[in-house]
Amino acid sequence: MSLTAITYLVVGLTFALYIGIAIWARAGSTSEFYVAGGGVHPVLNGMATGADWMSAASFISMAGLIAGMGYGGGLFLMGWTGGYVLLAMLLAPYLRKFGKFTVPQFVGDRFYSKGASSVAVICLLAASLTYIIGQMTGVGVAFSRFLGVSNTAGILIGMTIVFAYAVFGGMKGITYTQVAQYCVLILAYTVPAIFISLQLTGNPLPQLGLGSDMVGTSVPLLEKLNQVVTELGFGEYTTSVPGSKLNMFVYTVSLMIGTAGLPHVIIRFFTVPKVKDARSSAGWALVFIAILYTTAPAVAAMARLNIHATVNEAVLGGGDLFDNENILQYENRPAWMERWEVTGLLQFEDKNNDGRMQYYNDATTDPEVLAKAEAAGWEGSELDVNRDIIVLANPEIAMLPNWVIALVAAGGLAAALSTAAGLLLAISSAISHDLLKDMWMPDLSEKGELLAGKIAMACSLIVAAYLGLNPPGFAAGTVAIAFGLAASSIFPVLMMGIFNKRMNKEGAIAGMLAGLGVTMLYVFAHKGLFFIPGTEFLGLFGGEPNFFFGISPNAFGAIGAIINFAVAYGVSKVTPAPPEHIQELVESVRVPRGSKAVSGGH
């Protein structure tokens, strides 16, 4: 059976499974639609949370980022997993005890203000809509490569599948679908990694293979990789840190607190029966996430080595890396390169017209590398490999069986669709429950609210598909900005709402607006969309990339969070304290016993 036929079969079976589960677990009440009735087992909820969390960014992009960045890519591992520790310890159990459906509802009740709830909705939409762009784009990439359809058709197909199980099933359908999607994506990620680890090191565990010797040699895999990349002018894989150490630290913090503030993740902890279960769910989620996240560094390193080996025989066979006899001729390129060239994510430009694929760092300042390249007649690197293809192309590069390649396609789609569904539910609940029910139409019946929720999700899905097809320039290609927006706006207000009983509505609103505003301002400024003349000497608004102490816009969420905390604290000190009953509410939420049943009411 051909690769295309097997891929259609595997992907089709997984889609049928998702839709079947959604029909079985369709929501019949607002409680089931928003929080699955609050009756999901902690282990299942942890698995669903893992699928909800491990988006296209984790499955498709993270290993590619690590492959390109080397050691510096560890900030994604530390930031995204460390955020779950914060979530489990500082937020999940207290929010679950509060007993509300959504983050804006918590903010509205805790800060006794519909205005605060409205600002929280704005923050939620900003973070979620930015995040969902990456998911829909990932769906388009996976469909276009593996099913032979256009990017537009891929996004429309993905939108239809999500509509089928998310709109009708609500959180109840999404939860059990995400359990299935987790099983698909984790198998799709680990099975190829096991094959490739065996090929390169003889060790079936990729985590151990990363530190093992290459097959038939006494040379460790990472030592070999370091040797190859440095000889070709790239930074040493195990030590390189792109940008400053300050930027790496701030970036990691931004990802951590952004993770803890993502609304589509937080809402998952309202789906369990008890406060204890919320903390347990976070622990199980970490276990399930760790399987993929501890595998990613091995996938990244092995894929980087395999790509170099594909182009240059001397990588694994020994010899001069700049000897043209070792360089792959374009006409003899493997089939996987031909297939990825069609997508535009792998490109070859024959700069010296010799028909061979030179692949090195032509931007290096190392005179030895440049001298060797010039002596060999090279006129620049000729191969451009998009980092997003690393995971999806990895089994093809290693020439694994077709069923493994098909499984990876299904896994990539499962990762993107599961997170897209969670984001859509967070967006629709903010619109239908927090705006429509709580503010505009308080007398709306449960049946009417359920219908409104489904309509809101359908409309949100259309907007998400549009953004996937027409991504705004400042957000295209990254979901890190979404983490920055959540870090700078949502995380601080939740922390202050739980741990500072003196924090009032004026402080909360001012802090959210300041944090969100300054982060968005920095993102737009970084793209040269505005410039303040006469401020160059401050090093703040000079119109240059990373102009605030070398901090990139993707990392700026942590700075926005500090501003949020500072503004909120300052404003709260010069405005009236919260009512006594609110301060008592904050005290009671922190008592580690008992919890309210999950309710949409006030």
Q: What is the rounded distance in angstroms from the CA atom of residue 93 to the CA atom of residue 282?
A: 9
Please state, in angstroms and as integers, the Cα–Cα distance from residue 283 to each residue in 90, 289, 571, following that order. 13, 10, 36
CB 492 within 8 A of CB 568: yes
CB 106 within 8 A of CB 100: yes
Please state, in angstroms and as integers, the Cα–Cα distance from residue 149 to each residue in 220, 343, 450, 465, following that order. 41, 10, 35, 16
Res 576: pLDDT: 93
Output the CA angle 54-59-62, nearest 5 degrees.
Answer: 100
What are residue 548's DSSP bridge partners?
Answer: 551
26: three-class secondary structure by DSSP: coil
* Identity of the residue numbered 285: A
Residue 353 token pair: 């017209």
Within 8 A by CB and 6+ apart from 112, the residues are: 505, 578, 579, 582
Q: What is the rounded distance in angstroms from the CA atom of residue 227 to the CA atom of residue 215?
A: 17
Segment 8-65, tens digit of pLDDT: 888 888 888 877 877 776 655 555 555 544 567 788 888 888 877 777 777 777 888 8
Q: What is the rounded distance in angstroms from the CA atom of residue 373 to the CA atom of residue 389?
A: 27
User: What are the backbone dihedrals phi and psi of residue 596, each rounded to the nearest 5 degrees, phi first?
Assistant: -80, 150
CB 139 within 8 A of CB 158: yes
Res 538: pLDDT: 38
The two beta strands, 346-348 and 383-385, are: antiparallel
CB 514 within 8 A of CB 563: yes
312: three-class secondary structure by DSSP: strand
Res 532: pLDDT: 44
Residue 462 token pair: 């259309």
Q: What is the rounded distance in angstroms from the CA atom of residue 310 to the CA atom of residue 172?
A: 46
Q: What is the rounded distance in angstroms from the CA atom of residue 86 to the CA atom of residue 68?
A: 28
Segments of the chain with pLDDT less than 70: 25-39, 100-101, 141, 144-148, 165-172, 438, 471-480, 526-547, 591-602
The Cβ of residue 352 has, within 10 Å, a number of other Cβ atoms equal to: 14
What are residue 316's DSSP bridge partners?
Answer: none
Q: Rg of the chain over CA atoms, in angstroms?
A: 25
What are residue 383's DSSP bridge partners?
Answer: 348
Res 231: pLDDT: 93
Residue 336 token pair: 């996987």
**pTM attached to this predicted model:** 0.81
User: What are the backbone dihedrals phi and psi of residue 472, each rounded to the nearest 5 degrees, phi first?
Assistant: -65, 145
